[in-house]
Amino acid sequence: MKAIYIEQHGGPEVLKFGDFAKPAPAPGQVLVKVAVSGVNFIDIYQRNGLYKMPLPAVLGVEGAGVVEALGEGVTGFKPGDSVAWTMARGSYAEYAAVPAVSLVHVPAHVSMSDAAAAMLQGMTAHYLTHSTFPLDNTHTALVHAAAGGTGRLIVQMAKLRGARVIATAGSAAKAQVAREAGADEVILYNDTDFQASVKQLTNGAGVHVVYDGVGKATYDKSIDSLRPRGMMVSFGNASGAVPPVDLLSLSTKGSLFLTRPTLGNYSSPEELKWRSGDLFSWMKDGKLKLMIEKEYPLADTAQAQIDLAGRGTMGKLLVTI
C-alpha cells in the first residue's frame, strides 16, 4: 500500500511517500480502508521526536474510512461500515489497523472529510469544555488561537454551554473567524497585551479558565489572566513546550489549578460514543460548524505539515487518500 512514513526523526524532509506493508488486523483491531486523514500537531511532534515511538512508522493519528476486515474478537462493526477514529497511529496510508475501542460509527449525514476533521480537534474541544473544566453560564473562558482548528471548536462549544468567551487571535482576519464562531470579545495579541486586556474586560477579576494550546509563548500571561482558584488548561505546544513550573507560584497567584490533559485519558469507549454523538448531532443541526481549509493528496503530506506548523492556517487541514 502507499503510505507516508518515517525511518528517522527530523524535519518535513524525513517524511517518505512510498510502499509500506499493508497491516493485518490483530485481535481487537479493525482493518479500515482510509478515505481521509486529519493533519495535526501531534503528527509533527511524532515526526520530530518530541513524542518518541518505534521506527519505521506510518504517521497520522486521525482518520475516516470504510471497514475492510475484522480482527479476532471484534464485535459491533462489519465490513462496509463507515467509521472514524483518533489517537490510533497509521492514518497517512491507504489502510490502517485501528483498535476497535478507538472507532466510532459515522452516520450517513456526515461526510468522510467532516468525520476526519471532527475527530481529534472536536473530541479535544469536547473534553476540555465538558470534562476538564465543565463550563456553564457563570463562567468566563479565555481561548487562545481561537481561529485555529481546535480553538474555533472550543469557542463554539463554550457558547453552547452558555459561557462568556474572550478569544485571542493573531490578525484581523482571524479575529473575524473567532467572532463568527461566537466569541464575545477578541484580543489581537500581536497588537496589545492580552493579559491587560483580559483584566480590563473582567473588571480586574480575571477569567475562570484558560484553554491554551499555544504553550511557551502564552503560558506566563495566561496564568496571570486567571482569577483566584482559576484553572490553567495547557493542552498543546504550538509555540514550544512550557518550561518547568514553579509550583509555589500557583499558590502566590491565587491557589490556581494547572492541568496538562490529553485526549487519551478522556476517551473510554463510553466517552467516545458520548463525545462523537454530540459532535455529529450538533453538525447535523447546524450548531457546530467545521472549517476545512485545504485537502492535500497523500503525496503532499509534508507540505500540509509545513503549512500547519507555520500557524498561518485558520481551518482544518486534511489528507485525502
Instruction: List CB contacts of 310: < 8 A, sequence separation 6 or more.
Output: none
One domain, residues 100 and 145: no
One domain, residues 86 and 160: no
Give 111's pLDDT tier (boundaries 50, 70, 90): very high
Q: List, for residues 41-93, the tens digit of each pLDDT value.
A: 899 999 999 888 999 999 999 999 999 999 999 999 999 999 999 999 999 99
Give 270's pLDDT tier (boundaries 50, 70, 90): very high
Q: Does residue 128 fall inside a structural domain?
A: no
In sign, the C-alpha dihedral spanning 277, 282, 285, 291 is negative
Q: Does residue 48 fall inside a structural domain?
A: yes
Strand order of the β-sheet with 57-58 is: 16-19, 2-6, 57-58
In sign, the C-alpha dihedral spanning 126, 129, 132, 134 is negative
Range of the domain at 6: 2-120+264-320
Rounded percentage of the chain residues whose pLDDT exceeds 70: 100
Query: Which phi and psi (to 5°) does residue 41 adopt?
Result: -60, -30
Q: Does residue 12 fall inside a structural domain?
A: yes
Whether 195 and 225 have beta carbons less than 8 Å apart is answered as yes
Whether 28 and 99 have beta carbons less than 8 Å apart is answered as yes
One domain, residues 22 and 63: yes
Q: What is the Cα–Cα distance from 54 to 122, expressed in whole angstroms?
A: 28
**Would you say residue 313 has pLDDT above 80?**
no
One domain, residues 36 and 105: yes
Q: List, for residues 85-99, the tens digit of each pLDDT value.
A: 999 999 999 999 999
One domain, residues 201 and 287: no
Q: What is the Cα–Cα distance from 75 to 269, expressed in whole angstroms?
A: 13
How many CB atoms sit inside 10 A of residue 16's CB? 16
Tell me 22's DSSP state: P
Q: What is the Cα–Cα distance from 159 to 137, expressed in whole angstroms?
A: 9
Domain count, the chain: 2
Q: Does residue 204 fall inside a structural domain?
A: yes
Quote the pLDDT of residue 311. 72
Quote the pLDDT of residue 16. 98
Q: List, for residues 235-265, the tens digit of each pLDDT value.
A: 988 788 888 999 999 999 999 999 999 999 9
Give the count of alpha carbons within 13 A of 40, CB side only: 28
- Domain boundary among the residues 259, 282, 306 is at 259
Quote the pLDDT of residue 47. 98
Rounded percentage of the chain residues whose pLDDT exceeds 90: 90
Quote the pLDDT of residue 106. 98
Instruction: List CB contacts of 110: < 8 A, sequence separation 6 or more.
Output: 118, 280, 283, 284
Q: What is the CATH number of the domain that holds 212?
A: 3.40.50.720
Quote the pLDDT of residue 212. 97
Rounded mean pLDDT of 141-152? 93
Q: What is the CATH number of the domain that holds 101?
A: 3.90.180.10
Q: Does residue 295 fall inside a structural domain?
A: yes
- Domain boundary among the residues 214, 240, 259 is at 259
Q: List, for residues 180-203, the tens digit of each pLDDT value.
A: 999 999 999 989 999 999 999 999
What are the grid coordinates assigned to 292, written together?
A: 476545512
One domain, residues 74 and 104: yes
Quote the pLDDT of residue 195. 97
One domain, residues 116 and 147: no
Quote the pLDDT of residue 241. 84
One domain, residues 30 and 110: yes
Q: Does residue 293 fall inside a structural domain?
A: yes
Please write down the long-range contacts of 300-304, taking CB distance under 8 Å and 24 or more positions apart: 301/4, 301/15, 301/17, 301/39, 301/59, 301/92, 302/4, 302/12, 302/13, 302/15, 303/12, 304/39
Q: Taking the model in full, what pTM does it have?
A: 0.91
Q: Does residue 67 fall inside a structural domain?
A: yes
One domain, residues 35 and 101: yes
Of 161, 121, 171, residue with least CA distance to 291: 121
Q: List, for residues 2-20, the tens digit of each pLDDT value.
A: 999 999 999 999 999 999 9
One domain, residues 240 and 156: yes
What are the grid coordinates assigned to 298, written together?
A: 497523500
